[in-house]
A and B are shown apart, each in its own frame.
Chain A
Amino acid sequence: MLQSRLQVLGVAPQQLSCLHTSTSLETKKWERQNLKVYPPQQPDDLRRPAEIYHSRRQIKYSKDKMWYLAKLIRGMSIDQAIAQLEFNDKKGAKIMKEVLEEAQDMAVKNHNVEYKSNLYIAESNSSKGKYLKRIRFHGRGRFGVMDIVNCHYFVKLVEGPPPIIEEKTGFDQAKEYVQNLKNRTIIHSL
């Protein structure tokens, strides 16, 4: 309301004090998750699993191509993931393997993780980095804007064995559906 009033008065919006001091493109939110400190746990509480966030920025690779690798290692244990990436032929696999090894070292040294193999990949994402634009010359005097692509890669390691996801087949789902139908009762009937 205040801003609209000031605009009416003729004050340009840039002259107002701005709360946003950095753009959304340069935030390092993922790395800041590593600085969160939890209060001490009671002795009878469940031991909280350690979470380690790591990322690499401005990788010279496409975000779409990186996504395939990120999707591949989601939910795997760290040893399995490193093994899969080592024998993968893609360019991004080598970089991703380095990132995972760095994260593993960080976990053991800085985040009090006892066994370096006792980690699994909880989250693994790729996103668009900053692109450089160049001209791409086409025939007949035409041109296109060429993007030189960069991507970011984010990974979250959690301590513990990888969670086992129960895969439900179509037949099981159909059986469940039929069972639900059979369990229906008609109330206040004869």
Chain B
Amino acid sequence: MAMPMRRVLVALHRTTLSSLKNAEGSLDVWHPAPLYLPVRTKKRFFIPPAVKTREKKVIDVEKKARKAGIVLRQQYLERPINIACTAGIFDPYIPPEGDARLSTLTKEGLKQRTEQLRQSAGSQLAIRKIKEHDTQFKTKSFAEQAQEIFIEAHNHLAQFNREKLHSLVTERCYPEMTRGNRYKTISWRFVESLEPPKVVHARCPEMVSKGNLYGQVTVRMHTKQTLAIYDRFGRLMLGTEEQPKDVLEYLVLERHVVNPYGRWRLHGKIVPSWAPAKDPIIKTVLIPGPDLKPGEEFDAINYQVPKSEAVQWNK
């Protein structure tokens, strides 16, 4: 398109010049090029650069790099895997029904309170394996240590200190704790411990190769805590600041025992199937109704909101 325009313009240029000589300005008579036609004329039109480049040449970057002599290293398409922690809780502890529901005054309650670590072979074997690698491991002191780790981790979560949180919590537990927290403010406070923490379960699974041991110890804690979550605008979303709540938790801590620099870190929580329902959030939530066929009407009175079944799950 640029060529015919230039020709048109040059032709126009010539005809305008000829009209200067000739007063009538006859456009259909072609005069030969006048002597004083300037050779190099200023480009008086504008063509945007995008119009010229109709067909874009496919540039082969590899070929050019090879010509220039640049050698690119072979790219390995690999997915990184984390070996500092396991991906879940192996052989999880099943908390007995009605734990911490009976008062100490009854015989059953007293039996529950004074129950020693269950003499299950699996837990004893696991503890023995852990003691092989870590000589200072003691179930009595470990429970206290676990509670301290728990309190520190949650304090750092409330203030959101990424580095310290990574050192106190495994890589599997970190996203579970921090998902959705970015634009929220969490205020958590540990009030007191109602019962001393107790080690209830231990397992020492091997991952991938024999001898690669990871120790997972479950600790039972009955404590009083306060939790309040505020949304982006500083409005209360969940919980209260003043009212503390009694919390019965089964924490799982993990350590890569074979690694001499390994540390006991929070790996997850076990929520039993008989756990009481959580407090509802402050706002109302829309639950999508059933799919109706055209012509059907929604029966609000007889409609029951579907409830999920009570199943033990690990968090």
Interface mask (B173-198 → A, CB under 8 Å = 1, otherwise 0): 00000000001110100000000000
A residues within 8 A CB of B47? 135
**From residue A59, how far is it (CB to closest CB) to chain B in Å?**
21
Cα–Cα, bound, A171→B69 (Å): 84
Which residue from chain B places its CB closest to the CB of A112 in the assembled complex?
A: B231
**From residue B185, how far is it (CB to closest CB) to chain A in Å?**
5
Interface 9-mer from B107-115, B205-213, B232-240, B299-307: B232-240
| Contact present for B234 and A48 (CB under 8 Å) | yes
Interface mask (B28-65 → A, CB under 8 Å = 1, otherwise 0): 00000000000000000111101100000000000000
Q: Is the interface of A mostly helix, strand, loop or mixed?
A: loop
| Contact present for A39 and B50 (CB under 8 Å) | no
User: Which residues of chain B in 1-30 are interfacial with respect to chain A, using CB atoms and an 8 Å cutoff?
Assistant: 5, 8-9, 12
For chain B, the bracket of interface size reads 20 to 34
Cα–Cα, bound, A115→B236 (Å): 16
A residues within 8 A CB of B232? 36-38, 50, 111-112
| Contact present for B234 and A39 (CB under 8 Å) | yes
Which residue from chain A places its CB closest to the CB of B281 in the assembled complex?
A: A112
User: Which residues of chain A in 30-50 are interfacial with respect to chain B, using CB atoms and an 8 Å cutoff?
Assistant: 35-41, 43, 47-50
Which residue from chain A places its CB closest to the CB of B12 in the assembled complex?
A: A141
| Contact present for A40 and B234 (CB under 8 Å) | yes
Interface mask (A138-176 → B, CB under 8 Å = 1, otherwise 0): 001101010000000000000000000000000000000
User: Which residues of chain A in 77-128 are interfacial with respect to chain B, using CB atoms and an 8 Å cutoff?
Assistant: 108, 110-112, 114-116
Q: List 27 A-B contacts (CB under 8 A).
A: A37-B185, A39-B185, A40-B187, A40-B230, A41-B234, A41-B236, A43-B236, A48-B235, A50-B231, A50-B232, A108-B286, A111-B232, A112-B233, A112-B235, A112-B237, A112-B283, A115-B284, A133-B50, A134-B48, A134-B51, A135-B46, A135-B47, A140-B12, A141-B5, A141-B12, A143-B5, A143-B46
- Which residues of B does A touch, CB under 8 Å? 5, 8-9, 12, 45-48, 50-51, 183-185, 187, 228, 230-237, 283-284, 286
